[in-house]
A and B are shown apart, each in its own frame.
Chain A
């Protein structure tokens, strides 16, 4: 098992945003996380990546505890430490470094593996220069994989919307993750772009040997590529299973369409 979200519960004041989420991802799986607005999907992502610390429960990555910190001095992992262990993510509202070049956006993701010291970097010692060259080459490779290599000099903020989404995924890939969390990658895309995205996600899963957990509203995308699906509603896990099981699950239909008052 690659990731085990062990009975996660998080409360914000009186509101229980996610209740008793128990999620298990096997290596190489592509799993969907769906649910109506406000169901707690992104909150679940934030707990896995250490942005929030769960009120109860633990997050285990390959049996190692990676639960986030409750406060800066509390025990637990910081988001950057979790990224270093191999969990990368994208964001629902694209969060690129808009004023930096496309290439710099990707190279930054290699910084966590940098061995040279600050002095080594400033004095451009041979060790640093070699590392910088390697980082650059790897970044170009990732950009090639997502088809953005020709735009490497462009400012990230100037890219088209779909390209920005790709760049965000490229940046996450550059951290060299085992687990990739995609938060609504198809948001704002037309059906054809959604189709391309599905193929793209399939391709990177193979090429980079990834396990993927994906939040998505576009049912065509979710049902098309996800092997298993978890459904959240008001913070509770109301269903899990294969796309076919989910499509016929009455509680899921209820959550999405509401209950017929006359029934």
Chain B
């Protein structure tokens, strides 16, 4: 990394930490909630980007892995009395009933459990390519959801889990987001990350260069999915109540949207787009409330936000097929180049005016 970019990264990090302290002091609960959500979305989107953007394996199973992480985290942190209250139809299976642990070990175990499931699903699914892989992983994600709905004495079925301890605060969520960013950065810039990118670029050539395709695809899939597990555990703590219906395909789509907008294969692009999309998801609620323009009254239509995002996604696919950042990163050089281009544009415009 270039020296200027390092300094830039340090400044941004310090700025963010300062902002977190500021926000923690002065922001209201609603804004803090959105910031927590942004951090969780960064973790989720980075996980999906490792699988889809860097290793080039188009997986749509993220919501399923989030569900596993969320349920693991929730079941491990719920107090025995809260479990008794939740499981009033069928009692919870015995070893879990009187079991409770702290937030950090629960998140770590959530990541490990998700990794195990990702491995078991990945072994058959990653033999497929392209659209087939997308459909099969989507199918497994739905299977996870259906299984969770029907394991009454483990997950409380469709009733879901309530009163999950809300341990999460800005420092938990952004702490894990920072960890995820740093981990992804070092992973992608290591020899293993290069192997992932080689597989994305050309599988046949990568294999001819001695890269074990299956091993590296599984590796990327397990890492990305266990990040979804961490995100899921944090998500459960933020919502304090989860049920299987949260983890439908729409959730995967939301995360995929962030990855595609930011650029498949760009860490900084993903961070920026995950933050912006999270904020827009909230801000755009105004289009769902009833509006009066002149004499015309438009009734509030719920779901209008997603229409806007769909239009945005189409526009990006048309005009920026690789997302806003493509595979590039926001570096010092990148910013300078953009500023120079803006300056040149300004100059050209003044020149043209002079000619007229």
Contact = CB atoms under 8 A, between A and B. Distances in A.
Given A98-B201, A100-B198, A108-B195, A83 B187 contact: no
B208 interface: yes
Given A98-B201, A124-B186, A89 B191 contact: no
Contacts of A109: 209-210
Interface string B108-127: 00000000000000000001
Interface stretch (B70-78, B152-160, B211-219, B280-288): B211-219
Given A121-B190, A122-B187, A111 B201 contact: no
B194 A104 contact: yes
Nearest to A181: B208
B204 A114 contact: no
A91 B205 CA distance: 8
Given A51-B204, A99-B201, A118-B192, A111 B187 contact: no
B201 A107 contact: no
A108 B209 contact: yes
Given A108-B206, A111-B210, A112-B211, A97 B201 contact: yes
Interface in A66-84: 72, 78-81, 83-84
A71 to B, nearest CB: 10
Given A104-B194, A107-B194, A135-B191, A112 B186 contact: no
A80 B191 contact: no
A239 to B, nearest CB: 29
Given A111-B194, A111-B195, A124-B186, A79 B207 contact: yes
A78 B208 CA distance: 10
Given A72-B127, A118-B192, A124-B186, A111 B211 contact: yes
A96 interface: yes
Contacts of B192: 111, 118, 121-122
Interface in B240-298: none
A128 to B, nearest CB: 7
A49 interface: yes
B202 interface: yes
B256 to A, nearest CB: 21
B127 A49 contact: no
A49 B204 CA distance: 11
A78 B207 CA distance: 8
A111 B197 CA distance: 12
Given A95-B202, A97-B202, A100-B197, A112 B209 contact: yes
In this complex, which of A91, A121, A171 has the most chain B Cβ atoms within 10 angstroms of its Cβ? A121
Interface in A94-132: 95-100, 104, 107-112, 114, 116, 118, 121-124, 128, 131-132
A186 interface: no
B266 to A, nearest CB: 12
Contacts of A123: 186
A9 interface: no
Contacts of B190: 121-122, 124, 128, 132
B27 interface: no
Contacts of B202: 95-97
A175 B208 CA distance: 9
Interface residues of A, number: 39
A168 to B, nearest CB: 9
Contact of A121 (B191, B198, B205): B191
A212 interface: no
Nearest to B182: A122
B99 interface: no
Nearest to A135: B191
A88 interface: yes
A97 B197 contact: yes
A182 B206 CA distance: 16
A82 B11 CA distance: 48
B191 A171 contact: no
A171 B209 contact: yes
In this complex, which of B192, B194, B198, B209 has the most chain A Cβ atoms within 10 angstroms of its Cβ? B209
A79 B219 contact: no
A79 B208 contact: yes
A94 to B, nearest CB: 9
In this complex, which of B191, B202, B204, B206 has the most chain A Cβ atoms within 10 angstroms of its Cβ? B191
Nearest to A176: B210
A99 B327 contact: yes
Contacts of B186: 121-124
A175 B191 contact: no
Interface string A191-206: 0000000000000000
B119 to A, nearest CB: 14
Contacts of A124: 186, 190
A99 B186 CA distance: 19
Nearest to A118: B192
Nearest to B326: A99
B183 interface: yes
A89 B207 CA distance: 11
Which are the 4 A-B pairs with shortest beta-carbon distances? A112-B210, A83-B210, A121-B190, A97-B201
Interface of B: 127, 183, 186-187, 190-192, 194-195, 197-198, 201-202, 204-214, 219, 327
Given A80-B209, A121-B192, 5 more contacts: A72-B127, A96-B201, A104-B197, A118-B219, A124-B186
Interface of A: 49, 51, 72, 78-81, 83-84, 88-89, 91, 95-100, 104, 107-112, 114, 116, 118, 121-124, 128, 131-132, 135, 171-172, 175
9 contacts: A80-B207, A88-B208, A97-B206, A100-B194, A104-B194, A104-B197, A108-B194, A114-B191, A122-B192
